[in-house]
Structure 1
Amino acid sequence: MMINEIDGAGWESMGHAYGPASDVPGWLQGMASADPGVRDEAFSAFYSAAHHQGDVYPCTAASLPFLFEMAGSLVTPDRGSVIELLLSIGQECLDMDPERVYFTPDGTESRAHVDALEVIGERAEVFVRWVMDPDEEVRRPAIECLGLFLADSARALEVLRSLLPGSGTVQRLLVVRAVATVALRDAAVHGAAAGWLEELAGDTAQVPEVRLAALVHRARCTPGELGDAVVPAAVGLIREIEQAETGGDDDAPRGAEAEPDVAAGAAPSPGVPPQVAAAFKDLEQHGRVHAPTTSLLEAFHTLLGDRVSERSALLAEQLCSADPGVRYDAIRMAKELIGQWRGDHSGLVVLIAGCLLPEDAYTSAAAAEALGALVPVSKPAREALAAYVEACRAEHGPGVWAARERLVRRAHQEAVRALAGLGDLRALPCVLEALDEGTDAWRAVQVAGHLGGAAGDLTPRLSKLLAEVDFSDASQSMSANALVSALRELGDPAAVPALTTAIVAAVREEQWHTAASALKALASFGREAAFALDVVRPLADAQDVTVRAAATAALWELEGDAAGVVPRLVELLDTHENDEAAAVLGRIGQAAAPALPRLRKMMAAGYEWTRVYAATALWDIGGDAEAPAVVETLLAAWAENDATSNHVLACLSRMGPAARPTLPRVREELTLLRRSGRFRSVPHDEELQSACRSITARA
């Protein structure tokens, strides 16, 4: 059957998931078009409709014969992309449970993943031919397909091994990985494949990249036999790669290739917040690989898992590599290691900081962004960040924050943000410049709150920007909330008038989330914001629950009338704002005793977070008499969901001697290697460890 013989009704009967079913044959025809634009559009449409986010539908399985036909035709202009699509569909099917029935978005039962694998398996013999194809773009995905889908594993192994001589470096790396894939999916050839990989790893006639690949994939075949010598051997091969001549091989490693430089000041589309536009620009860089060994080293790091010291040694070698591509990709790997695992990472932080080179803005931007994401662990990079910021200003002038060259601008801004995140006032001149001039001011706002020592300079500027927000434009809500957050962090009471005005404007435009954020910021100034009570008091009766809770909390902070707010807070315990209400009741303390019966009932809630909010408030109000129940509840919630740990530890810290029964669990936490805490983020985990150490020190 040819592609043009498929009719729309046939696709409808196959349970097509997205878009008109009759479009699918057209997409298949478009993928074979001689017009590159038509091809790109057709591939994009197929991925969106028939392979949406990697899903496999009945129509996806039905398309496979035609994709194979297209890939096998020498007149198809982009056969490699078609085979990559086959590879993607097949890999997704392998990751799905063959015994499970899945459902399409319209609720239809589907076992398309099983059907698709059957179709691929029946035609897998063609991969043997395609791995010999003259077109490199065809060979590369075909090699992976051969390793995954050819049922005759012994033949797959034989063909793959025959490809190694005469191939370029990248293809040889693919062959080695495919051999390991065959070994892992069929025990019958595991020994032969693993033995070949071991021989290859020790073959000094091979280039070090191939030997490194063989070493890693040999270890991947038998992870339980990973000895102490593997990492030193890998480090030695990385050094050989650095020293090797790369000329004369079309597939030789290449350094980091910078993105095209464009002029600064490009405005996002109307109605799109600049933060969102920037996030989509960042996606363009996500997943870029700058060295052929990167995916290999990523696999090695995954294999090493919690062997943090060995992974750090490996990353140290990568970060010191003479190859800029290896160095660039190592920044991301080091960021992931530090972000996921505990330990003394100061050595790696210093090496990341060593990638801050004024002559290489592309790599510097990545290094600075990583250091900013790793605050507060990135403190050892403080001086390097300050030096880089100063070097940029010296070379490009004080207006470098808004430099026309995109790479220079991005690298400088990321370094300033990282330095400001550490609370270093050497970032202040650049932050003030951004706020005054307006270019990418939102990026400066995000870190301004960390510069509390400069509140006198920052508060008037941030207040002015908040006053300029158009609250009738929903797209400006992200900017408004960022400004409110920064003013709250700075803690300067001079921000109270601007916050009060923002509350009025946000309520008028029914921007409830922003109004609530501003109310919480206002509450943080306590009695110094009492003159705003006329604005706050009516909002304690607002229809929006979030605003009502924030206003009630602000009433307590601004005037301290427990009798007036406790009944309101008890009512709020029955809403989705029960966490805010419980927290305020806890801050009120003994005067909130009327809330105790309701809080005790909340301790039996099914949701662990609700139990944590109730338990912490119960302790803060009832004290020692409530301690046994509070301790039991907090430990149970912590065991159920370690994301609650920061809240749990904060309460245990306040409990003092009453928290002694939790000491075994607190000590156990300090022995764990993987980061924990809210969102498993670096700041929350560092805070968590600090609380644990404080509790154990007092024991």
Structure 2
Amino acid sequence: MLTGIEEVDWASLGHAYGPADDVPELLRGLASADPAERETALDGMYGAVHHQGDVYDSTLACIPFLLELVADPAVQDRGCIVELLTSIGGIELDDDDELDELDPDDGEFIPAANYAMAAAAIAAGSDVFLGLVSDPDPEVRLAAPCALASLHPEPARALTLLRERLTVERDTEVRLALVAAVGRIALRHASLRAETVDWLGWLARAAQDPGLRLAALTQRARCAPADIPDDIVPWVTGLLEEIRTSAQGPVAPGTERAATPTLIGQVRELLEEHAAGRPAPWTEELLRTLHAALDDRVDDRIALILAQLRSPDWGQRSDAIWLCGGLIRIWRGRYEEVVRLVGAQLHDPEPRLREAATSFLERLFELGAPAADALAARLAGGPTGVGPGQALGPAQGTGSGSGSAKQAGQAGQTGSRKAGQGGCGGSGPQHGFVGRSGRDGALLALARAGDTRAVPLLARALEEREVRRELLYAMDGLGPSAAMLAPLLRRRLAEVELDERLYDRAAPLLYALAAVRGAQAVPEVLRVLRGAPSNRRDWVREAALRTLAAFGPAAQKAVPDMRGLLTAESATVATAAARALWAAEGDLGEILPALERWLRPGASGADWCSAAQALGEIGPAAASTASALLPGLGARDLWVRVRSAAALWRVSGDTATTLPVLLAAWEENRHARVDVAECLAEMGPAASEAQLVILTELTRRRRHNAREGASGSHDIHLDEKLLTVCRAALARMERGAF
């Protein structure tokens, strides 16, 4: 076992954390008889030797030993090692990273060379995977198909073996992994695609097992997305119903393992919890792959989700919610019925379903309105809870998670049965696990939807020792009814200690006070403004000044402090002071010079933008600063151009100069579109030449800020805001045309 491991000079090799002299112990740990030791060793391999998918010289040195472990039937958990090898050798270089096109002195050369050498080394030993498709261990058989599809140098041979094995394999999830691997080969090798697509189409019709038919249909859609049948929705929903009615009951849990303090152990436990009590948990990954193939066929995808949300199977409904989370984040559509049905899940006895529904609704903001009644009913009759790690109170601190998301994704392929896909399903393990948000999540969703029924519940939450900070940031959409929250917010701000953690504790409260126009809190805001410690002092001052600006003339008592900060060395503080002073007094005498000093050659982009935005808020009264703003229109920094053009329009009404700059920015950076659209809406008929731009945006199905594999909590809200502003701009332009 591990012959020659001592002959390698491991100390001269490296991994993510330095010299690789600990690697022999990790390799021996993979062969241990102790399950906890094996899991700890595997975690170490992903965490150091294959950190975030990287391949080091120590990773290359491990390959022969990993292949040896895989070939030894006495080694347990070999399926996990097969997955590790698949990950190490399965990284495909982008066209821009082809090794023969890279300069050896280029910083990307060594990583690219390591990936190429890893793929070659594993491919050279990949015949070992041929025998694993019939291994007695089902976990090995589950991992082997993807390894063959990804790594074997003879794809036609692998394809034939996988199809033959399907005729004798009896394990459901392994059969699904075989079909997924067939699809992967077809995607990677165009010469085999047409034949494979035909075979998958035949299997989707002829297989006796509805799960196998669904897997074949999914892979066929993945391999030939342009040829997905028009009746895909009734076909899939019929298969799901057949799977549900033919299921024998929840999948029996595997051998229980002792918990290990590792990322892989945590992911394994989450996967096991996710699958617990479900007869066919593997349908989630099949449907995720199908949704990816359907891509912009949004109406079909919504119809599939609606069918799942009406299923008697709570697991199908939970899957639909997670799938819809990805859909609504990327694509615009008619989601009212989806949201209403998700709201109905808040009353289901299954806690995982309630959690999924709450987490989904939290991110919808105004789109969550169809679920408002369900949210209000869910919140009726008890005090609000507190979400883990997201509270604001006397003991509140800041922290960060450990481990990497990429490592978690790799680790998610280990330690449990994986949705029947063996890692080849197309989109990876994305189950969307989150902390249990409970009642505070429902309250957040209700407040973000702008429903005033949230106000008394927020008042109750403010009486608690700790308050989830997102609730404070959600108060700006509740209108005048939220004014009743001001005394409670004022009291909490008065209790905040003026220490090094002042910003983290005070900023959400200051934001909320500004949102509810709680001007009676001027003394408490001044206390924070004057008592800001050195740590993040400018941040604290800016937050306090923004709150005072929202109070307007009611903040007269703070005028001396505002005036004193006009000359602050920080542009954000000085411009925030100018805004607050203008709101309180309306006297431009000292304000305009204080702002113009940041509109000078050599000023940073951020400083220029701060001053330009402040001048834009002042509007025509600041017309004398138009010439100072003009140089910003030609800046290299896009945001300087956008802020300068918007400010110039607002102070001078000069459309001829500013409109071309704004439209160019619209095309250059999609994230500038909300700001540009707001300005176009203000211009009205004067911006009529932008009508086509606005109409084009309104007809797009894809959200302007959509990002594959990443999202922010406000992404949907910002895109919906863009659509609202675009409609307003278009209406004003059209009125001006008649």
Structure 1 length normalisation: TM-score? 0.87
The offset of 1:376, in angstroms, is: 0.6
**Residue 109 of structure 1: aligned partner:** 110
The offset of 1:571, in angstroms, is: 1.7
Q: Mean Cα displacement is larger for which, 673-682 or 330-339? A: 673-682
**Residue 396 of structure 2: aligned partner:** none
The 1:285/1:77 distance shift into structure 2, 3 A limit, reads: closer
2:343 pairs with one of 350, 353, 363: 353
Q: Secondary structure at the match of 1:425?
A: coil
**Residue 685 of structure 1: aligned partner:** 719
The offset of 1:537, in angstroms, is: 2.1
**Residue 224 of structure 1: aligned partner:** 226
Q: Mean Cα displacement is larger for which, 674-683 or 362-371? A: 674-683
1:560-579 mapped onto 2 (5 Å cutoff):
560-573=586-599, 574-575=603-604, 576-579=606-609
The 1:76/1:470 distance shift into structure 2, 3 A limit, reads: farther
Counterpart CA distance in 1 for 2:105 and 2:243 is 48
**Residue 74 of structure 2: aligned partner:** 75
Counterpart CA distance in 2 for 1:531 and 1:103 is 66
The one-letter code of the counterpart of 2:645 is A
In 2, are the aligned partners of 1:31 and 1:39 still within 8 Å (CA)?
yes
Counterpart CA distance in 1 for 2:105 and 2:458 is 50
In 2, are the aligned partners of 1:170 and 1:251 still within 8 Å (CA)?
no
**Residue 431 of structure 2: aligned partner:** none
The offset of 1:643, in angstroms, is: 0.7
Counterpart CA distance in 2 for 1:435 and 1:689 is 34
RMSD: 3.1
In 1, are the aligned partners of 2:496 and 2:506 still within 8 Å (CA)?
yes
The one-letter code of the counterpart of 2:448 is G
In 2, are the aligned partners of 1:16 and 1:59 still within 8 Å (CA)?
yes
The one-letter code of the counterpart of 2:508 is A
The offset of 1:196, in angstroms, is: 2.0
The offset of 1:156, in angstroms, is: 1.0
1:558-637 mapped onto 2 (5 Å cutoff):
558-573=584-599, 574-575=603-604, 576-623=606-653, 626-637=654-665
2:701 pairs with one of 673, 680, 688: 673
In 2, are the aligned partners of 1:449 and 1:487 still within 8 Å (CA)?
no
Counterpart CA distance in 1 for 2:103 and 2:48 is 17
Higher relative contact order (CA 8 A, sep 6+): 2
The offset of 1:693, in angstroms, is: 1.5
The one-letter code of the counterpart of 2:338 is L
In 1, are the aligned partners of 2:90 and 2:151 still within 8 Å (CA)?
no
The offset of 1:450, in angstroms, is: 3.8
**Residue 184 of structure 2: aligned partner:** 181
Counterpart CA distance in 2 for 1:399 and 1:223 is 49
**Residue 297 of structure 1: aligned partner:** 287
Q: Secondary structure at the match of 1:234?
A: helix
Q: Mean Cα displacement is larger for which, 56-65 or 371-380? A: 56-65
The 1:361/1:494 distance shift into structure 2, 3 A limit, reads: farther
**Residue 18 of structure 1: aligned partner:** 17
**Residue 5 of structure 1: aligned partner:** 5
The offset of 1:605, in angstroms, is: 0.9
1:645 and 2:673 equivalent? yes
The offset of 1:249, in angstroms, is: 7.4
The offset of 1:659, in angstroms, is: 0.6
2:121 pairs with one of 119, 122, 134: 119
The one-letter code of the counterpart of 2:648 is L
The offset of 1:409, in angstroms, is: 7.6
The 1:206/1:505 distance shift into structure 2, 3 A limit, reads: farther
2:510 pairs with one of 478, 481, 484: 484
The 1:180/1:510 distance shift into structure 2, 3 A limit, reads: closer
Counterpart CA distance in 2 for 1:66 and 1:645 is 54
The offset of 1:526, in angstroms, is: 1.6
Counterpart CA distance in 2 for 1:337 and 1:221 is 20
Q: Which runs of 5+ in 1 are unaligned?
A: 253-259, 261-280
Q: Which runs of 5+ in 2 are unaligned?
A: 260-265, 276-280, 389-433, 707-711
The offset of 1:223, in angstroms, is: 1.8
1:129 and 2:131 equivalent? yes
1:654-673 mapped onto 2 (5 Å cutoff):
654-673=682-701
Q: Mean Cα displacement is larger for which, 37-46 or 572-581? A: 37-46
1:149-168 mapped onto 2 (5 Å cutoff):
149-164=151-166, 165-168=168-171
Counterpart CA distance in 1 for 2:297 and 2:274 is 24
The 1:123/1:185 distance shift into structure 2, 3 A limit, reads: same
Counterpart CA distance in 2 for 1:479 and 1:241 is 51
Q: How many residues align?
A: 660
The offset of 1:577, in angstroms, is: 2.4
1:234 pairs with one of 217, 236, 247: 236
Q: Secondary structure at the match of 1:524?
A: helix
Counterpart CA distance in 2 for 1:586 and 1:28 is 63
**Residue 460 of structure 2: aligned partner:** 433
The 1:295/1:345 distance shift into structure 2, 3 A limit, reads: same
2:572 pairs with one of 533, 546, 549: 546
Counterpart CA distance in 2 for 1:102 and 1:338 is 42
Counterpart CA distance in 2 for 1:651 and 1:378 is 27
Counterpart CA distance in 1 for 2:154 and 2:104 is 32
In 2, are the aligned partners of 1:644 and 1:677 still within 8 Å (CA)?
no
Q: Secondary structure at the match of 2:187?
A: helix
Q: Mean Cα displacement is larger for which, 297-306 or 355-364? A: 355-364
2:305 pairs with one of 298, 315, 340: 315
Q: Secondary structure at the match of 1:22?
A: coil
Q: Secondary structure at the match of 1:33?
A: coil
The offset of 1:45, in angstroms, is: 2.5
Q: Secondary structure at the match of 1:660?
A: helix
Q: Secondary structure at the match of 1:321?
A: coil
The one-letter code of the counterpart of 2:730 is T
The one-letter code of the counterpart of 1:604 is G
The 1:42/1:440 distance shift into structure 2, 3 A limit, reads: farther
| CA shift digits 1:214-256 (9 cap, x unpaired) | 111112222222231233322221222222232497699xxxx
The offset of 1:492, in angstroms, is: 2.4
| CA shift digits 1:470-517 (9 cap, x unpaired) | 34233x533322111111111221232222211112256553212211
The offset of 1:539, in angstroms, is: 2.0
Q: Secondary structure at the match of 1:506?
A: coil
Counterpart CA distance in 1 for 2:616 and 2:470 is 35
Counterpart CA distance in 1 for 2:691 and 2:435 is 50
In 1, are the aligned partners of 2:10 and 2:23 still within 8 Å (CA)?
no
Counterpart CA distance in 2 for 1:166 and 1:75 is 22
The one-letter code of the counterpart of 1:697 is A
In 2, are the aligned partners of 1:144 and 1:174 still within 8 Å (CA)?
yes
Q: Secondary structure at the match of 2:496?
A: coil
In 2, are the aligned partners of 1:549 and 1:581 still within 8 Å (CA)?
yes
Counterpart CA distance in 2 for 1:677 and 1:389 is 32
Structure 2 length normalisation: TM-score? 0.83
Counterpart CA distance in 2 for 1:437 and 1:282 is 33
1:354-369 mapped onto 2 (5 Å cutoff):
354-369=344-359
1:401 pairs with one of 372, 376, 385: 385
The offset of 1:458, in angstroms, is: 1.4
Counterpart CA distance in 1 for 2:715 and 2:311 is 28
